[in-house]
A and B are shown apart, each in its own frame.
Chain A
Amino acid sequence: MNQQFEFGKQEESGSVRKPAKAALDAIAGYQPVLPKNVSLPGKSEVIPSGVEVPAGVVGRKPAGEMSEPAAAENPVEDVYGEAVRRKIQGNIIPGFNKDHQHFLFYRITDVSPAKKFLRAIAPHITSMYEALEFVRAHRALRMRLGVVEPPGLKATWVNIALSCPGIEKLAGAGTGEQFGEQSFRQGLAERSTYLGDPTNRAEPGHKSRWRVGGPDNEADILVIVASDTLPGLAGKVGLVRRWAAAYRLELIFEQRGDALPGTLRGHEHFGFKDGVSQPGVRGKVSSAPGDFITPRYFVAANAADSRPLIFAKPGQPLVWPGQVLLGEPRQHPNDPIIRGIPATNFPYWAARGSYLVCRRLNQNVSAFWNFAAEAAAQTGVPPVTLAASLVGRWPSGAPLMRTPASDNAALAGDPFANNHFVFDDNTRPSSLRLIPGYAGDSFAPASADMLGTVCPHFAHIRKMNPRDSATDLGKWQDTLRRLILRRGIPFGRPIVGIERPSAKLVAQERGLMFLCYGGTIEDQFEFLIRRWANSAIHPNFGGHDPIIGQRDERGNRARFVDLPTSSGTVRANLKAEWITPTGGGYFFAPPIEALVDVLGA
């Protein structure tokens, strides 16, 4: 490191300085583009009940479609048949991924009616079966129609989760102790400063100021409603509200979330495509060859190529179901191909449930882009380039590793290319099974970047998933034990993509409802945040995660990144904060039948 500079003051929400404004305007035009005729094969075209489908689009066979060779089936993975899939909540697997969502946080005031509420809502809880069938139908429609978003296929879904105190109220004192996950028992508020949240009560992110989930306003029940349409969302939210009122649940907070509009759909408020990289859950839908929960595309390039055993598609690693569902085979600590021992530290009725972390994170878009513009001026690169180095991807979602010099919307839109990179070595070409309409990944492959000169070690995507790199926990196989299934959605009105946003608009609250599911909280979500995002030296030296990293060392919240430049690294001290925690909670999403048989009984 040969230079250092600082950014001395906390930004106010209402000020976007001129260079930052130019950068914001520049990214407003980005739009990911799916390669022409890309289609994603699906095994099933069964449309679940309650899903609206436009007439005439299901059941047509595309001309010239080729049969699919069976994907690798070693190791043998369990079949999650329909009966089992109907017990697992659908936001866990495959995830709701709806443009409109509503989160209702309730407190139980009277146990007996609260149990009735659970029994009433249980038949409306969307299962993995329904959601997965929808996703498969969606894929089939995209294939038939050749569009990104097939018209007419709409659904509205509901899921539910309970905090440890909520479970104790419903299932009896001592039930919470049966959950071996200590962080769940403690709750988010008690773990807040461990996650880097402010220790100083005067700070806006201090837990005492949270809208929900603080020491005095922890929720017992979280209901998630998700829909493709606003009327669908409003109808179901209204129903939940009426039941909750009738059964004397106290609504302590609610939050609407919406995908950003127009060309920034799927992006978060800073303007970057979000959720590009998710692990794929192992397991099969049926015993039919190739009928996996997560579609498999890799085939071995040669006899020594082990990637088909580790990845569903390029850059999408496979994780054993126990990493998200209690009681299922977990990741083996050392070998990704061997099924690990299932967890047993939970009450019997919680099997195939999942821990749910919810964090309401405010985003100060002005502060982020003002920093990017200022740091860019110091290092002589455009603000968008500087911002991309903080994320590790360009605003479109195209990875720096594959397009270091400029954004590439076509790359961003290619699901077989936009995650196809490793960090330590040159990325090997992928061998994929035949994908109708897909000509293959013709983008420039990623070159080795072991020292973080292209995608810095502090970059958000490198911090949260170091992929092939060694870490402070040793080998890359350990990283698979840390991955989570993210289910977040933005809230608040955007200013990215808005020409000349008014000061009033800029000052409004906006951010991310971060949600993730996992088989543990401590070894996955908390590990990623505390051990990697909040550390300047883990998993590798280079600075803190500038997107979500926090640090509170006896009230000192200073962080830094070592920006790579052509003449060495430049340390940029981050004084301003652009992410502020404002609520959340640690929850457990139980298997659906437990809502009636145990918690509602």
Chain B
Amino acid sequence: MALVTRFETPGRLRDLPDSSPFYAAWHSKVDAELSFSVPGPVPGGGFYDASETVVNVAATRALVWMGFPRPLLTTDYPGGRREAFAKGDTRGADIPEGRTTQVEYLEWFTQRDKQGRITKVTFTTETPEYWHALFQAPEGPNRVVELYRQLLGNPGIDVAAITDSSGSYNPLNAWNTTRGIIHYIVETPPNTLHAALSLVSNAVADDILISDNFDNFEDFRLEPTSADPRVRTDIRGLARKGLQVTAAEPIGIYMGGWDDTGWSKPDGSPVGNYWKVIRPSGAAGPPALRLEYEVPASEGFVVSDIRIGGRPIEFGGQLAEHVTVLVNGVAGILA
């Protein structure tokens, strides 16, 4: 495969005109994240920067994992799964407590009406790095405000609402925390592009054993999440085969699928397709960066009235359990 000359934006988003220097800046940002990559010695595999190293791609692999945080589902809450879902939706004054539990590179915001009924759940896999970069572009602040207004349906949002006292972009602004959601904010462990790429690159950084006498049973991974061991196990497995690996273009973290089979309307019939891919715009299905679940007004009921396997929806996390997060990887041999 030829060298990548410009790293794409996630989902090939075009939030600014093609002529904007933002895209070159984004390329540099991604390139910098990959700069520590060192293709491994043959036969050992390594992590490579596709803009610097030519690799003949032998395989692609979609790495998928569950969007709802595994650590919550494996905790022995006295209230069982319901309590786990409740934790994922816990509100808070500045940063919702529930949001801090959303550690699987999928964050969501549950919107309720005055009666407390869920009317919409919005999911995102967008990174803070992208929004910082967008804000820093010459025409960025206005465009970011415009996007906030558009995505949250609130024309009253202004630049002051999303910046700090020095005028810098504030990712922990109210519209990305307590009042809505735009992109990741979880910091422990961080949901960031840097963390995701580090996960991949660190997986093959030092101790890959190329041996017939080694497999995943020896290569114990104890992290409690779904995402981290999924990525590390797969990447290390590919590297053990002597393959060079990297994230596929356009590099990003996506929602790779959502499953509403067995969900029913109040009358017991199957739900309609109430999913809407918001970003990238115009997409009919996966992969998605921003996804909404909202029942059209014409149906005469709201999300809370839907049952999943006979159970009423009480929390956004019940939907997150059925959303799949995805990173595409490629593997090959040094050209």
Contact = CB atoms under 8 A, between A and B. Distances in A.
Nearest to B214: A425
Interface in B226-262: 226-230, 233-234, 237-238, 240-241, 256-257, 259-262
B59 interface: yes
Contacts of B257: 535, 537
Given A422-B215, A537-B64, A341 B262 contact: no
A506 B175 CA distance: 64
Given A194-B262, A450-B238, A474-B227, A540 B64 contact: yes
A37 interface: no
A474 B232 CA distance: 9
Given A425-B240, A474-B226, A540-B62, 5 more contacts: A425-B215, A468-B217, A470-B237, A472-B66, A475-B216
Interface stretch (A164-172, A304-312, A570-578): A304-312
A144 interface: no
B227 A333 contact: no
Contacts of B65: 472-474
Nearest to B256: A537
* A interface: dominant SS: loop
Interface string A507-538: 00000000000000010000000100011011
B233 A475 contact: yes
Given A451-B59, A472-B230, A182 B80 contact: yes
Nearest to A196: B261
B309 to A, nearest CB: 3
Contacts of B262: 191, 193-196, 530, 552
Given A190-B309, A534-B261, A538-B324, A476 B216 contact: yes
The 3 lowest CB-CB distance pairs between A and B, nearest first, are A194-B309, A194-B262, A333-B74
Interface in B256-282: 256-257, 259-262, 264, 269-273
B234 A535 contact: no
Interface residues of A, number: 56
Contacts of A194: 261-262, 308-310
7 contacts: A195-B262, A304-B218, A424-B216, A428-B212, A474-B65, A478-B70, A478-B226
B76 interface: yes
Give the one of B63, B76, B227 with max A CB within 10 A: B76
Contacts, number: 151
Interface string B197-231: 00000000000000011111110111111111110
Nearest to B226: A474
A72 interface: no
A249 B223 CA distance: 51
Interface residues of B, number: 54
Interface of B: 59, 61-66, 70, 74, 76, 78, 80-81, 212-218, 220-230, 233-234, 237-238, 240-241, 256-257, 259-262, 264, 269-273, 308-311, 324
A218 B233 CA distance: 44
A472 B81 CA distance: 18
Contacts of B308: 194
A102 to B, nearest CB: 31
Contacts of B214: 425
A551 B215 contact: no
Contacts of A306: 217-218, 220
A10 B240 CA distance: 44
Contacts of B228: 474
A470 B225 contact: no
A3 interface: no
Contacts of B81: 182, 522
Contacts of B241: 448, 450
B237 to A, nearest CB: 5
Contact of B216 (A468, A539, A553): A468
A199 interface: yes
Nearest to B66: A472
A471 B230 contact: yes
A346 to B, nearest CB: 11
A450 B237 contact: yes
Contacts of A199: 269-270
A186 B310 contact: yes
Contacts of B310: 186, 190-191, 194
A474 B269 contact: no
A193 B237 contact: no
Contacts of A471: 230
Contact of A422 (B217, B221, B222): B217
Given A306-B217, A310-B217, A448-B241, A191 B309 contact: yes
Contacts of B215: 422, 424-428, 468
A193 B264 contact: yes
B219 to A, nearest CB: 9
Contacts of B63: 470
A335 B222 contact: yes
Contact of A554 (B66, B70, B78, B270): B270
Contacts of B259: 535
Nearest to A183: B309
A552 B259 CA distance: 10
B217 A426 contact: no
Interface string A463-496: 0000011111111111000000000000000000
A474 B216 contact: no
A341 B76 contact: yes
A280 to B, nearest CB: 15
A424 B221 contact: no
A474 B261 contact: no
Contacts of A182: 80-81, 311
A422 B217 CA distance: 10
A425 B237 contact: yes
B162 to A, nearest CB: 34
Contacts of B224: 333-334
B203 to A, nearest CB: 11
Interface in A190-208: 190-191, 193-196, 199
B270 A193 contact: yes
Interface in A403-451: 422, 424-428, 448, 450-451
